[in-house]
């Protein structure tokens, strides 16, 4: 036999095994290792002497004969209070079948990057300098050029910057769109990105400039983190490190590379994503996600904000 634990001090006393049923006349005293260790911890917390004995394929929890009744009572109280713990996991969330439409938006983003490389004459610009008109120029945003908080999300410094965002973003965006529906998901992604760029402009020096959709990508991570934490909040203590680790990994991949990327905007995008995700999760607990025409209208609204922002940029710079 292998012996673990500690014995009581003082007068010698006969040691008796605690029955697994916790009944005074219980016979089966062989316990699984996990239960035996848990029960031993409970008794030690109540200052009741105990020891664990390894017997064959199981364990016995032994206490002095004079403490057996008290030990059983403490263990009965413990089992009664923890009868339904941990709580069962909630049912899996139904997912929308919209992966293709979500990926099409990313293809449009790549297509727009190609457009910005062409010499295009448009609305008095010969040619259009897309980066100058649409980057997140902190001072100009503070001076009222609000559209830059949106247009900067559609610009990228180069192909490497774009492909990094698309490759990683596809995984997270498709998941978010399947959870919330395309319209609501893209609306929240856009909102987290523009809010992140907007607040970052207030905190950065006047001449600070940045481009890239990674601010919105960090918003996606924040949205997914909040939605996951709310859905599995009964097991929150085991899940909270996951979104933190995801954000840290993305920061290592995207947050510090390139002269036009912006660490502050990335962090703020993540924070606003967390906030918006918590709000969306609270609403969706009482109502279904938008479907049909509601989903279509939200999609059109998000696209409309991008188009109006670029139109404002072109007209202001003409």
Where in the chain are the domains? Answer: 2-81, 99-317
C-alpha separations of 4 from 29, 49, 52, 57, 267 in Å: 16, 12, 5, 15, 49
Q: What is the pLDDT of residue 1?
A: 41
Q: Give domain 2-81's CATH number out of 3.40.50.1370, 3.30.70.1530, 1.20.1260.10, 3.65.10.10.
A: 3.30.70.1530
pTM: 0.71
Give the separation between CA 20 and CA 202, rounded to whole angstroms: 64
pLDDT per residue over 268-288, tens digit each?
999 999 999 999 988 888 888
Residue of 19, 203, 177 lying closest to 103 (CA atoms): 177
Per-residue confidence at 85, pLDDT binned at 50, 70, 90? low
pLDDT, mean over the chain: 84
Q: Indicate the DSSP class of residue 54.
A: E
As a whole number, mean pLDDT of residues 239-243 equals 63
Taking a C-beta distance cutoff of 8 angstroms, is the pair 213, 196 a contact? Answer: no
Query: H-helix or E-strand containing 15?
Result: strand 15-17
pLDDT value for 2: 43
Output the pLDDT for position 242: 66
Range in 207-216, 255-264, 293-302 with the lowest mean pLDDT: 255-264
Complete DSSP assignment for 113-141: HHHHTS---BTTBSS--HHHHHS--HHHH
- Name the token pair of 230: 């709310």
Q: What is the mean pLDDT of residues 55-83?
A: 88
pLDDT of 152 = 94
**Banded pLDDT at 310 (limits 50, 70, 90):** very high
Integer Cα distance of 189 and 174 in angstroms:
12
The proportion of the chain whose per-residue pLDDT surpasses 90, expressed as a percent, equals 43
According to CATH, the topology of domain 99-317 is Rhomboid-like fold (1.20.1540)
Q: Residue 5: which pLDDT band, with cuts at 50, 70 and 90?
A: very low
């Amino acid at each position: 036999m292998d012996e673990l634990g500690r014995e009581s001090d003082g007068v010698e006393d006969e040691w008796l095994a605690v029955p697994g049923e916790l009944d005074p006349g219980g016979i089966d005293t062989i316990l699984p290792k996990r239960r035996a260790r848990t029960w031993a911890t409970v008794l030690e917390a109540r200052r009741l002497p105990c020891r664990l004995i390894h017997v064959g394929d199981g364990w016995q929890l032994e206490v002095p004969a004079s403490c057996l009744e008290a030990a059983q009572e403490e263990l009965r109280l413990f089992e009664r209070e923890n009868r339904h713990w941990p709580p069962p996991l909630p049912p899996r969330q139904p997912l929308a079948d919209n992966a293709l439409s979500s990926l099409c938006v990313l293809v449009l983003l790549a297509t727009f990057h190609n457009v910005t490389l062409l010499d295009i004459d448009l609305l008095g610009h010969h040619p259009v300098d897309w980066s100058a008109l649409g980057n997140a120029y902190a001072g100009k945003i503070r001076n009222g050029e609000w559209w830059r908080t949106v247009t900067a999300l559609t610009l990228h410094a180069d192909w490497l910057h774009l492909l990094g965002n698309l490759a990683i973003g596809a995984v997270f965006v498709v998941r978010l769109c399947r959870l919330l529906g395309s319209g609501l998901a893209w609306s929240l992604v856009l909102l987290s990105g523009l809010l992140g760029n907007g607040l970052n402009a207030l905190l950065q020096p006047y001449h600070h400039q940045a481009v890239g959709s990674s601010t919105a990508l960090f918003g996606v991570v924040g949205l997914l983190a909040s939605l996951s934490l709310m859905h599995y909040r009964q097991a929150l203590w085991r899940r909270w490190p996951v979104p933190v680790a995801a954000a840290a990994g993305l920061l290592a991949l995207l947050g510090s590379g390139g002269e036009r990327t912006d660490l502050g905007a990335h962090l703020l995008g993540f924070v606003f994503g967390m906030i918006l995700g918590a709000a969306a999760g609270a609403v969706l607990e009482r109502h279904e996600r938008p479907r049909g025409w509601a989903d279509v209208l939200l999609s059109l609204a998000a696209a409309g904000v991008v188009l109006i922002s670029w139109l404002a940029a072109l007209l202001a710079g003409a």
